[in-house]
Amino acid sequence: MFQKMRVLLLSLVAIMLLAACGGSKEEKGADAPVRDTLIVAQGADAKSLDPHNTNDQPSSRVSAQIYDRLVEADLSMNIVPGLAESWEQPDDLTTVFTLRQGVKFHNGEELKASDVKFTLDRMVSSPTVHHIIQAVDSVNVVDDYTVEVKTKEPFGALLNHLSHTAASILNEKAVTESGDNYGQNPVGTGPYAFVKWDAGDKVTLVANDVYFKGAPTIKNVIFRNITEGTNRTIGLETGEVDIAYDIEPIDKGAIIDNSDLTLTEEPSLSMAYLGFNMKKEPFTNQKVREAISHAVKIDDIIEAVLMGAGVEANSPIGPMVFGHNPNVKAPTYDVEKAKALLAEAGFPNGFKTSIWTNDNPVRVQICQILQAQLKEIGIDMTIDIVEWGAYLDGTARGDHDMFILGWVSVTGDADYGLYALFHSSTQGGAGNRSFYGNPRVDELLDTAKSSTNPEERLELYGEIQELLQEELPVRTLYYQTQNAGMQNDVEGFNLHPAGHHKIYGVSIVK
Amino acid sequence: MHKYILKRLLLLVPVLLGVSFLVFTIMSFTPGDPAQLILGESAPVEAVAALRTEMGLDDNFFVQYARFVGKAVTGDFGRSYTSGREVFGEIFARFPNTLILAVVGVIIAVLIGIPVGIISATRQYSLLDSTSMILALLGVSMPNFWLGLMLILTFSVGLGVLPSGGFNGLKSIILPAITLGTGAAAIITRMTRSSMLEVIRQDYIRTARAKGLGEKKVVNKHALKNALIPVITVVGLQFGYLLGGAVLTETVYSWPGVGRLMVEAIRQKDTPTVLAAVVFLAAAFSVVNLLVDIMYAYVDPRIKSQYK
């Protein structure tokens, strides 16, 4: 009897091992990466490589290598030509793009204006990314290499929006042929072409030798999904990974102290803030909001929670965003002033309240520090940790008192950075979770949105930021510093403020 | 015997229906709107509403469930809300990874657990016995993720002989399987030991010895067979647990398995993926249970006769 069981067991093992061998990916010597392959580790798997299907960062980081856009945002968030070599604006509503000729998609098809029209039309009908192309009214093919884009109203930030990864240009033929499976079979014009996707594990890309800017130096790029930050750092230490995104604050020291590794840190377009629900007492009272704002000491947060990876925010949009007003000041840390304001508002002994956060560990820690800081002025704040889905639902309804959240001005333009958060029409789930409504701010936001005059827009946005720091619907906290760790022999890698760093231009020094 | 197996397989149907209904109910009534989660933090109300209608989320609860079952029996579990991929394909691709890990983990657990349990029992109260009981206690108490990280630090970072994560061939299985197997090994050791201790005290063992049988034969042939029944139960349960509960290990080792997929899907209220994953796991667990019950028949002739 036991002989039978033993045989059964052994054959099971044998089958499993054979399956493992057969199914294993061809990575010989996984500890020492082959030098024509760059391995990048990020914290989550891409969801889809169809830019119209998803707007999440892990997906954008991979698709940024596969596709190009009409225009691109460079490392300083300036708009530069992409697939469009030039453009003109015959009137306020129209932009005419002239495409580069001879650009090939990875399937051999040449880029034509029809592909651009197809892409933008498809964007409009995508529920996920529709809001990015909302301003566009129609897209018309003038000839094979000329496209006319008309907006419903003048829209100053049009080019910024067209530089967004969601506006990546797709090949009509490839998308139509793949149908619903396009997200797993992307075809672009970019420096790297899609090879295969081991779901949950890694995405493999290969260099596009006919890339219009010149073939990339590194032949193969693999994006690996390593969920735990510490494991990403370990991957760097063992040499299994060449570049690791989003190093945890706690692991930064390990990389800095390691003579084989380099840590790079740059500002991002991300801003974190403490919001007040202005529909609820006592946050209807501006003095209360001011008092709380003066009781917050940002330095403590940046030091203790972020380990220095942040800069105090003076405005809801950061210095790299067009429209940023450098002269606006955030409330200073002044406990006495805070107590006085609170007394004036009718709360000399403070009051009880709560703050909502999702289960993001950094945000929870920030809440703990805020709790202690507010205690100093007599405010007893409980921390409600809410699961993300419930958090979005609840804050959309206005169930909360205070809340902590972040916002990324991905387009690098103040319209994206401010409108959703502060316009009265977007109260609730559309982004304005403070339920702030100021007719003057509404007017300014609407005018600035439809202006195509940069100077005028700068002025308008400047005034908006002043009003916001006066009325304090939110207390801005910090601008996030983003980082990446890499092996010393990786050269030419730069962090892009929007977070989808380009691998094109990176080389491995032998 | 065959009729029994057939009957058990048919019982799978109500089990899977029940499980899927329960999960569907939970997913439908917990807070969090899949449409809102897909569209993110700044989604206009109309956009969310439109997406909900498009996804069929506005329909009556029972209508939605019936739709799901109707498609599921044809093998179509729909598409993931988040990735748009066909769910069945996605899970089918990742399930073998979880399965391999669970199988190797259980094998390691059995290869360690049963021999150590036997030796502990036959040399009760000896140094070996006490040591293995302490080790078993440690094995059961150690958190998976901690053990995982310790193993990575020792073997990947320190010695550089094994990969620290991902699934790139045979070498990648070793550390995760050890991590998973340790806890299971501890439980199996204790079960084997206590079961053996009970059996060894039986009269027929004394008779066998009295009749002059060598100790080895007494233990391996007579005692072990009888002691194994509760142990087989435990092994089966452990295997089922490893199949579904390997999430922490999968996270620490970035193992592309179903556990991690399911947790992510739950967070994003990706109901099709959660349902399919749960159905898969419930089916796998039921099959394991069936195999365990069949093994009983081989180990214990009394049970075999009941199945006829």
Q: Model confidence over B171-208: pLDDT tens digits?
A: 999 999 999 999 899 999 999 999 999 998 888 888 88
Q: What percent of chain B has pLDDT over 70?
A: 99
Token digits of residue B119:
């030796």
Does the pLDDT of residue B297 top 50, yes or no?
Answer: yes
Alpha-carbon span A39 to A240, nearest angstrom? 8
Please tell me whether residue B150 adopts helix, strand or coil conformation: helix
pLDDT, residue A21, reads 47
Between A459 and B294, where is the model more confident? A459
Burial of residue B70 (number of CB atoms within 10 Å: 0-12, 13-18, 19+): exposed
Q: Nearest chain B Cα to A427, which residue? A: B44
Letter for the amino acid at B243? L
pLDDT, residue A6, reads 64
pLDDT, residue A271, reads 95
Q: Which of A4, A9, A47 to mutate to test the interface with B (most CBs of B within 10 A)?
A: A47
Instruction: Collect all residues of chain B within an 8 Å Cβ-Cβ radius of residue A234.
Output: 152-153, 156-157, 164-165
Alpha-carbon span B35 to B269, nearest angstrom? 9
> How high is the mean pLDDT of chain A?
92
pLDDT digits (tens, 9 = 90+) for A179-190: 989 999 999 999
Q: Is B90's Cβ below 8 Å from some Cβ in A? A: yes
Peptide bond into A282 cis (omega under 30): yes
Q: How far is A231 from chain B (nearest CA, A)?
A: 7
pLDDT, residue A11, reads 60
Average pLDDT over residues B80-100: 88
Does the pLDDT of residue A28 top 60, yes or no?
Answer: no
Average pLDDT over residues A321-349: 95
Instruction: Collect all residues of chain A within an 8 Å Cβ-Cβ radius of residue B268.
Output: 389
> How high is the mean pLDDT of chain B?
88
Alpha-carbon span A360 to B42, nearest angstrom? 18
pLDDT, residue A31, reads 43
Residue B180 near residue B107 (C-beta atoms within 8 A): no
Q: Which of B30, B39, B162, B249 to mutate to test the interface with A (most CBs of A within 10 A)?
A: B39
Instruction: Collect all residues of chain A within an 8 Å Cβ-Cβ radius of residue B167.
Output: 24-25, 198, 201
pLDDT, residue A416, reads 93
Instruction: Collect all residues of chain A within an 8 Å Cβ-Cβ radius of residue B163.
Output: 30-31, 238, 240
pLDDT digits (tens, 9 = 90+) for A462-492: 999 999 999 999 999 999 999 999 999 999 9
pLDDT, residue A10, reads 62
Q: Is B169's Cβ below 8 Å from some Cβ in A? A: yes
Radius of gyration of chain A (CA): 25
pLDDT, residue A340, reads 96
Residues 6+ apart with CB under 8 A from A46: A58, A59, A61, A62, A63, A197, A203, A223
Q: How far is B14 from chain A (nearest CA, A)?
A: 29
Q: Nearest chain A Cα to B224, which residue? A: A2
Does the pLDDT of residue A3 top 60, yes or no?
Answer: no
Q: Is A430's Cβ below 8 Å from some Cβ in B? A: yes
pLDDT, residue B75, reads 84
pLDDT digits (tens, 9 = 90+) for A237-296: 999 999 999 999 889 999 999 999 999 999 999 999 999 999 999 999 999 999 999 999
Q: What are phi and psi of B26, to 5 degrees?
A: -60, -50
A192: left (phi over 0), alpha (psi -120 to 50) or beta: beta
- Cβ pair A238:B160 closer than 8 A: yes
Report which listed range, A399-408, B60-69, B168-177, B288-297, is most confident: A399-408
pLDDT digits (tens, 9 = 90+) for A183-218: 999 999 999 999 999 988 999 999 999 999 999 999
Q: Which of B54, B99, B108, B168 to mutate to test the interface with A (most CBs of A within 10 A)?
A: B168
ipTM value: 0.84
Alpha-carbon span A309 to A413, nearest angstrom? 23
Which residue(s) pair with A403 in the sheet? Answer: A275, A356
Between A18 and A117, where is the model more confident? A117
Does the pLDDT of residue A329 top 80, yes or no?
Answer: yes
Average pLDDT over residues A397-416: 94
Does the pLDDT of residue A178 top 70, yes or no?
Answer: yes
pLDDT digits (tens, 9 = 90+) for B136-153: 899 889 898 899 999 999
pLDDT digits (tens, 9 = 90+) for B206-243: 888 888 888 888 888 888 888 888 898 899 888 888 88
Q: Is A13's Cβ below 8 Å from some Cβ in B? A: yes
Q: Which of A1, A2, A126, A129 to mutate to test the interface with B (most CBs of B within 10 A)?
A: A2
Token digits of residue A416:
């994206």
pLDDT digits (tens, 9 = 90+) for B23-52: 999 998 888 888 888 887 777 788 888 888
Q: How far is B11 from chain A (nearest CA, A)?
A: 26
Average pLDDT over residues A227-233: 92
Q: Is A420's Cβ below 8 Å from some Cβ in B? A: yes
Residues 6+ apart with CB under 8 A from A398: A277, A279, A280, A428, A435
Q: Nearest chain A Cα to B295, which residue? A: A5
DSSP output for A339-392: HHHHHHTT-TT--EEEEEE-S-HHHHHHHHHHHHHHHTTT-EEEEEE--HHHHH
* A402-408 and A261-276 strand pairing: antiparallel
Cα dihedral A254/A257/A262/A264 (nearest 10): 70
- Cβ pair A30:B166 closer than 8 A: yes
Alpha-carbon span A340 to B110, nearest angstrom? 69
pLDDT, residue A8, reads 59
Does the pLDDT of residue A13 top 70, yes or no?
Answer: no
Cα dihedral A30/A36/A40/A45 (nearest 10): -80
Angle at CA of residue A476, ends A301 and A442, nearest 5°: 170
Interface of A with B in 219-248 (CB under 8 A): 224-228, 230-231, 234-235, 237-238, 240
Angle at CA of residue A412, ends A408 and A413, nearest 5°: 105
Residue A374 near residue A297 (C-beta atoms within 8 A): no
Distances from the Cα of B25 to the Cαs of A390, B21, B271, B278, in angstroms? 17, 6, 10, 13
